[in-house]
Amino acid sequence: MKAGDHLKERLHPFQLSILLYSIQNGLVVYTLPRVTAQYFGTNGWLSIIFIFILVNINILLIATIYKLGKGRSIFEIIEATIPKWVMIPIYLFIICVWIGLASMIMREYIFIMKIFFYPALPAVYFVIFFTLLGFQLLTGGIHHITKAFVVLICFVMPMLALLLYLISEFEFDRFTSFYFKGGTDYFEGSLRVYSAYLGIEVSMLLFPVVDKKWTKSLFIGNFFSLFIYLIVTFMCFGFFSFDQVLNDLYPIMTLFEYTEVSFLSRAENLCFCVFAFKILATTVIYYWGAQKTLENIAGKVKPGLWIILILATGFVLALIPGSVAHVEKWSNWLSNCAILIAWALPIFVLGVLFIQMLRNQMLRETDYAK
């Protein structure tokens, strides 16, 4: 291997599956049982599966772009038909949404952490460390990010084993025999549940660095998320009564409070702290997506400058919200925008691709006629 060869190395589908799982907005899982119960009613956990199918359709769109575009980056595809200056406002909108969402996810995590464990510590310390880790990862590039998260996620996964300690309290009776009764707003609920799968749309920018058969990683990574969300929410519905789930702000946090092993009790702290890696993954991948889009807008600027600019913006944004409610409001709004991007961008790129294909076919037919 020559110097720098590892930079050209394609990402392995296994690594990608883990990366794609880790970048999905995991923070939602802490509120997921309540959200599903509130919006979908009894046995609301089933909604996670329905939304999963929707996300798979979204992923299918991305995979189709990759197949039809023959591995070209989405910027290349778009800019082959539409001039760059027309696209700049859309690019800027995407960048703003992604940076904003990343900061809000980070800040929401910090707020929850502060409320539960560090009421006296200023939030800025946590933001500094998130930014520092983000800087370390972004300067290393996507290969570095992927490899680091493959290892970091290994620390998050074992926390699932703690659920085994709760099995003795689990009862199927608590699920009730009613389905989706007492729900409020299915559409709003779907958006909230969908936001748990967000993050995967940034994979649209991974085209130039991935293996040919990478698309299966998208589905595997997404299935991983489904599995985790489902198992945790299912456990919650069987551990607490429906009313408890409905009235608890962070049911998963309460769930882990009940764990007790011989040398450790109340593992919710440990679980939530390890979860920082998952939050970091989501934050960093959105920052990375913003960086790549910015690089496409102005390719001549050094990537280091963009990284500093993005991180500085993220840092400042993260310090603005004053309460959890405030940050949740922003987070919901931005995640709705991100869902819009996740659907509209692939459909738009597919449209561009079809136009290109039609034009090519017409050209071929004209050539043939000559």
Partner 1 sequence: MTEANYEKTLAEFGDSFDLVHRSFHQDKFRIVYLNSLVDSQSLEWEILSPLREMSFNHLEQATDQSLFKRINDQEEVIKGILDGNVAMFAGAYTYLINVPGFEERAISQSERETVINGPHDSFNEVLQTNVSLIRRRIRSPRLKMISLSVGDISKTRVLVIYIEGTAKMSIVNQLKERIQAIKVDSITDSNFLIQKLDEHQNSPFPQFYTTERPDIAVSKLYAGKIIGLVDDSPNIICTPSSFFDFFESPDDLYQRWTIGVAVKLLRYLALFVTLILTAFYVSICTYHYEMIPQSLLQSLMQSRSRVPFPPFIEALFLEIVIELLREAGARLPTKIGQTIGIVGGIVIGQAAVQAGITSNILIIVVSVSAIASFIVPSYGMSASIRLVRFLFIIMAGFLGNIGIFFTLGIVIIHLMGLTNFSSPYIKAISPAFFKSWMDNIIIKPFYRNK
| List 50, 93, 124, 129, residue binding partner 1 (CB under 8 A) | 129
Distance CA 108, CA 82 (A): 38
CB of 260 to partner 1, least distance (A): 6
Question: Considering CB under 8 A, how many residues would be counted as binding partner 1?
Answer: 43
Pick the stretch among 6-14, 55-63, 220-228, 360-368 that binds partner 1 (CB under 8 A).
Answer: 6-14
Distance CA 277, CA 299 (A): 30
Distance CA 370, CA 176 (A): 72
CB of 195 to partner 1, least distance (A): 24
Cβ(321)–Cβ(107) under 8 Å? yes
CB of 277 to partner 1, least distance (A): 6
| List 98, 277, 286, 287, residue binding partner 1 (CB under 8 A) | 277
Cβ(175)–Cβ(17) under 8 Å? no
Q: Nearer to partner 1 by C-beta: 87 or 218?
A: 218
| List 65, 280, 318, 339, residue binding partner 1 (CB under 8 A) | 280
The dihedral built from the CA positions of residue 203, 36, 172 and 179, taken in this order, carries a sign that is: negative
Distance CA 254, CA 232 (A): 12
> Which residues in the 294-353 window bind partner 1 by CB under 8 A?
none
| List 124, 167, 231, 273, residue binding partner 1 (CB under 8 A) | 273
Residue 1 binding partner 1, by CB under 8 A: yes
The dihedral built from the CA positions of residue 134, 136, 137 and 141, taken in this order, carries a sign that is: positive
Pick the stretch among 132-140, 229-237, 295-303, 356-364 that binds partner 1 (CB under 8 A).
Answer: 132-140
Distance CA 60, CA 68 (A): 12
Q: Nearer to partner 1 by C-beta: 273 or 347?
A: 273
In the chain, where do the E strands start and end?
260-261, 264-265
> Which residues in the 248-267 window bind partner 1 by CB under 8 A?
260, 262-267
Q: Nearer to partner 1 by C-beta: 96 or 270?
A: 270
CB of 16 to partner 1, least distance (A): 11
| List 67, 80, 122, 125, residue binding partner 1 (CB under 8 A) | 125
Q: x/- binding map, residues 85-114, to partner 1, per CB under 8 A?
A: ----------------------------x-
Chain Cα centroid distance, residue 130:
16
Q: x/- binding map, residues 9-48, to partner 1, per CB under 8 A?
A: x--x-xx---------------------------------
Pick the stretch among 128-136, 301-309, 316-324, 343-351 that binds partner 1 (CB under 8 A).
Answer: 128-136
**Residue linked to tokens 């799982």:** 21
| List 136, 184, 241, 360, residue binding partner 1 (CB under 8 A) | 136
CB of 112 to partner 1, least distance (A): 12
Angle subtended by helix axes 186-194 and 47-68, to nearest 10? 60
CB-based burial label for 101 (10 Å; 0-12, 13-18, 19+):
buried
Helix, strand or coil, per DSSP, at residue 11: strand
- Reported for 2-11, long-range contacts at CB under 8 A and 24+ positions apart, including other chains, are 6/143, 7/141, 7/143, 9/143, 10/209, 10/210, 10/211, 11/142, 11/143, 11/146, 11/206, 11/209, 11/210, 11/211, 11/214
Residue 17 tokens, joined: 């599956």
Q: List residues near partner 1 by CB under 8 A.
A: 1-6, 9, 12, 14-15, 113, 117-118, 121, 125-126, 129, 132-133, 136-137, 140, 144, 147-148, 150-152, 155, 260, 262-267, 269-270, 273-274, 276-277, 280
